[in-house]
Chain A
Amino acid sequence: MVSEIIYFVTFALVGIGLVTLVLGLSKLLQTRKPNEIKLSTYESGIAVTGDPRIQYKMRYYVFGLLLVLFDVEMIFLFPWAVVFKSLGLFAFVEMLVFIAIILLGLFYAWRKGALKWV
Chain B
Amino acid sequence: MLSSAELLNFANSHGIPLWAMDAFIAALIALGLFAAMGLGFMVQVYMERKVSAGLQLRYGPIYVGPKGSLQLVADALKFITKEDVFPSSAEPWIFRLAPVVMFAAAFLGLLVLPFGPGLVAKDLNVGLIYVLAIPSIGVAGVIMAGFGSKNRYAILGSLRAAAQMISYEVPRSLSLIGIIMIAGTMRLSSIVDGQGIWYIFLQPLGFLVFFVATMAELNRTPFDLAESESEYVNGYHTEYSGMRFGFFFFAEYMSLFAAALLTAVLFLGGWHGPGPVILAPVWLLIKVFGVIYVLMWVRWTFPRFRIDQVMDLGWKVLLPMALVNILVTGIIMSV
A residues in contact (CB < 8 Å) with B: 2-4, 6-12, 14-16, 18-20, 22-23, 25-26, 29-34, 36, 38-44, 48, 51-54, 56, 60, 63-64, 66-67, 70-71, 74, 77-78, 81-85, 88-89, 92, 95-96, 99, 103, 106, 110, 115-118
Contacts and interface: CB of A to CB of B under 8 A. Distances in A.
Interface in B319-335: 319, 323, 326-327, 330, 333-334
Contacts of A12: 104, 108
A108 to B, nearest CB: 13
Given A30-B242, A84-B184, A117 B83 contact: no
A39 B151 contact: no
Contacts of B178: 81
How many of chain B's residues touch chain A, expressed as a range?
35 or more
Given A8-B111, A52-B152, A99-B323, A67 B184 contact: no
27 contacts: A2-B19, A4-B124, A10-B22, A10-B30, A14-B27, A19-B100, A22-B243, A29-B81, A34-B85, A38-B85, A39-B86, A39-B87, A41-B149, A41-B150, A42-B151, A42-B233, A53-B147, A60-B159, A60-B163, A63-B167, A84-B180, A84-B184, A92-B330, A99-B323, A117-B307, A117-B312, A118-B308
B99 interface: yes
A23 B316 CA distance: 42
For the residues of A in contact with B, the DSSP-based class is: helix
Contacts of A63: 163, 166-167, 311
A30 B121 contact: no
Contacts of B83: 30-34
A82 B333 contact: no
Contact of B151 (A14, A52, A81): A52
Contacts of A48: 89, 152
Nearest to B311: A117
A53 B64 CA distance: 43
B239 interface: yes
A16 B166 contact: no
A53 B34 contact: no
Contacts of B308: 116-118
